């Protein structure tokens, strides 16, 4: 960005940026924050948490300068790619999360880890779209946490092929956890979800009417279809010969979220 004096950012934006960079689980360490503040010429501050400490320091310097330049300098130092040479997935996660905040003021962190101007967003939906983040869109859609648990690392690595494979595995693993069954694939689905001669071991309804039986069979058939479409070919075909686009991955993960939500309220038979 330009070296000219920049208008101060709102306290809400600065605090949100600090929340990303100093996140309790995945953010900068206390020592890293201290070092980066010194490198950026920002006096350190006390705070009740890492986030509070960083936000206080940036806001105090911004207020003294009456300009946001100090915040820009800090973000550029914090996101320098050389810092993430051994952790590219951490860079991807932080960049995506920062861009969800910065898009509201027409800024973004580019692939070089530096702040650049970009389109501004007025709504959360606009923010997810302009941030160009698959994770942003998945969060906007309320993707089931069981799905994200299995494929977040692949999404951060921008590997839609392996993300689709790992995401589909989440359903089979969930069925085994619910029932203790050790089968896999279509055999697992038939054993625990198909009604057969009585109530299915994992039942999404009472199974007392033809409509409910059809619903139960439909879910089982859908899951087997997802296995056939994504897990079985991915296990045998080279990645070179099979492409999964981001749009297709979004649709798949949305469908898998629906499956997991049906399993959330399922009744488990011994």
Please check whether residues 90 and 205 belong to one and the same domain: no
116 and 157 share one domain: no
Q: Residues 6 or more apart from 95 whose CB is under 8 A from it?
A: 79, 109, 113
Question: Do 128 and 25 share a structural domain?
Answer: yes
Same domain, 151 and 127: no
Average pLDDT per 10 consecutive residues for the chain, totaling 270 residues: 82 96 91 96 95 97 96 96 90 87 89 86 61 72 91 79 92 96 94 85 93 95 95 61 83 96 92
Q: What's the confidence (pLDDT) of residue 233?
A: 64
Classify the phi-psi angles of 158: left when phi > 0, otherwise alpha if psi is within -120 to 50, otherwise beta.
Answer: left
Q: Is the dihedral of CA 26, 134, 152, 172 positive or negative?
A: positive
Among 76, 102, 132, residue at a domain's last position: 132
Q: What whole-number distance in Å separates Cα of residue 229 and Cα of residue 165?
A: 10
Give a yes or no: residue 5 inside a domain: no
* Structural domain contains residue 140: no
Tell me, yes or no, whether 1 lies in a domain. no
- Residues 190, 91, single domain; the answer is no
Check residue 140 and give its pLDDT.
Answer: 79
Assess if residue 137 is contained within a domain: no
Residue 167 forms part of a structural domain = yes
Residue 131 pLDDT: 52
Query: How many structural domains does the chain have?
Result: 2
Is 258 found in the same domain as 152? yes
Question: Could you give the C-alpha distances from 117 to 5, 15, 129, 217, in angstroms and in order?
Answer: 15, 20, 16, 51
Give me the pLDDT at residue 130, please: 53
**Residue 6 included in any domain:** no
**What is the domain extent for residue 247?**
145-268
Last residue of a domain, one of 132, 162, 190: 132
Domain contains 4? no
> Same domain, yes or no, for 155 and 257?
yes
Task: Indicate whether 240 and 181 sit together in one domain.
Answer: yes
- The answer on 67 and 152 residing in a single domain is no
The answer to whether residue 191 sits within a structural domain is yes
Specify the pLDDT at position 1.
Answer: 61
């Amino acid at each position: 960005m330009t070296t000219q004096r920049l208008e101060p950012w709102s306290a809400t934006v600065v605090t949100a940026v600090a929340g990303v960079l100093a996140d309790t689980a995945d953010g900068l360490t206390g020592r890293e924050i201290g070092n980066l503040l010194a490198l950026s010429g920002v006096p350190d501050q006390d705070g009740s948490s890492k986030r509070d400490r960083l936000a206080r320091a940036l806001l105090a310097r911004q207020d003294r300068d009456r300009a946001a330049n100090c915040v820009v300098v800090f973000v550029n130092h914090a996101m320098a790619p050389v810092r993430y040479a051994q952790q590219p997935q951490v860079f991807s996660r932080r960049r995506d999360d920062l861009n969800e905040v910065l898009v509201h003021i027409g800024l973004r962190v580019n692939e070089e880890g530096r702040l650049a101007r970009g389109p501004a967003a007025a709504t959360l939906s606009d923010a997810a779209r302009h941030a160009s983040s698959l994770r942003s869109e998945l969060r906007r859609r309320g993707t089931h946490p069981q799905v994200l648990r299995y494929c977040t690392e692949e999404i951060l690595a921008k590997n839609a092929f392996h993300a689709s494979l790992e995401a589909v595995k989440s359903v089979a693993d969930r069925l085994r956890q619910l029932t203790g069954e050790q089968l896999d694939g279509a055999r697992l689905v038939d054993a625990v979800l198909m009604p057969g001669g009585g109530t299915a071991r994992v039942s999404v309804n009472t199974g007392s009417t033809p409509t409910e039986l059809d619903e139960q069979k439909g879910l089982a058939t859908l899951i087997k279809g997802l296995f056939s479409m994504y897990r079985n070919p991915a296990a045998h075909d080279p990645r070179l010969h099979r492409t999964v686009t981001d749009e297709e991955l979004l649709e798949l993960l949305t469908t898998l979220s629906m499956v997991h939500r049906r399993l959330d309220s399922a009744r488990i038979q011994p």
